[in-house]
Structure 1
């Protein structure tokens, strides 16, 4: 919200030579002009513009619900996000990552936190804010993370597999204020992950988003976990978000079958002749 408000503060004098504008003057032209400003002056990409417009639309809806605005200035406005290629690591690449020698203890920590996210689906902010009291032995006798996603405030209860449990044990007692891990800041983590990815020869640029996507595709969906369960584990508010990962998995299957087709080409020709 703060970012959108700051952009509007710049937009008004730039486009309308004004410092403020009454709500009743909001209209479709204003909204289209603001979108043009974001794309041209702020160099925002399509999905960023879409996100900002969602925020502005929410502000407008609050004004309408309060009776301060009697019409919908967004009527007739059309905008939609672009489909994003959500990069992820294959199972062999996860193994490559674990076998790669790390430069120092900090690189090893960041690598381990990435792998923790791969096996839990937690975003960077959720890993950073994870506290020991969120680790609980649940009804089935297994260790779970009982938490809410910071981004969506949705419940996300995750039963821990052996890998994340081992990582928790490895860093036990090294963090302050009851936190589970001594997590470096996001900028440092991303820089180190970039170095590690280059060292491993990965085409995908490593980020904690990639770790989360890897959890959805390589760890869960590719091993037959139902999409409804994946959606709950990831804390998605809409299963359509999860279905993007299922589409990626289908694409991966298609690519793998295409590779297999080339490998079996000679054998298939011989069999087809005999049929």
Structure 2
């Protein structure tokens, strides 16, 4: 039996329209959030490689300028007509070498831990599934604001699909949290020590504690955001199932 037939139920058009407006707002926000998450995860490895390329080009140009400057000093020394002139040029060269500290290099943070097939595929799958559900949630919002029965039905269906989808992606992300935290920690270690450097026992112990803390932070952040994401579809399911909302979107039966 349709819950709109509950005894004593009265139409609640304000509730239906309010839920529709919230579906539009939250659906758009969730859609933007999904796009932002996917964009960050997919773009950071490329950005890291781009930064590495930019710094290598800058170092190459700096080396070329240094060689050109030294070649000019060598030429001036060869062309000097007296010992005093050569000594003056050599002194200038020594000062230039002492002052040539170059630009301070940017600390390179490797993003390779995000450039993995499982991470990319998981993010793309989440973007596809949750993005589609959020588009449908927005559509249901318009239906509810227009007091259409299909808007209520679509909203309830989307909420029922969102709950297991959020739980599934939440579980996947919690499983991946230790690996992601480990990759983040390895990147920090490489940034501090340099590629291929062997850490001291004290540093290794400290970085291991950091890895444990990062794992807890990653897991807590994932669990918190996932739990919050579960609240709205539950709210939609509860409110859309109210008999008054069902009566508000029911079209009157034409008289025979």
Smaller-chain TM-score range? under 0.3
TM-score (norm 2): 0.25
Task: Name whichever structure is richer in strand by fraction.
Answer: 1
TM-score (norm 1): 0.24
Kindly name which structure, 1 or 2, has the bigger radius of gyration based on alpha carbons. Answer: 2
Greater RCO (Cα-Cα under 8 Å, separation 6 or more): 2
Task: Name whichever structure is richer in helix by fraction.
Answer: 2
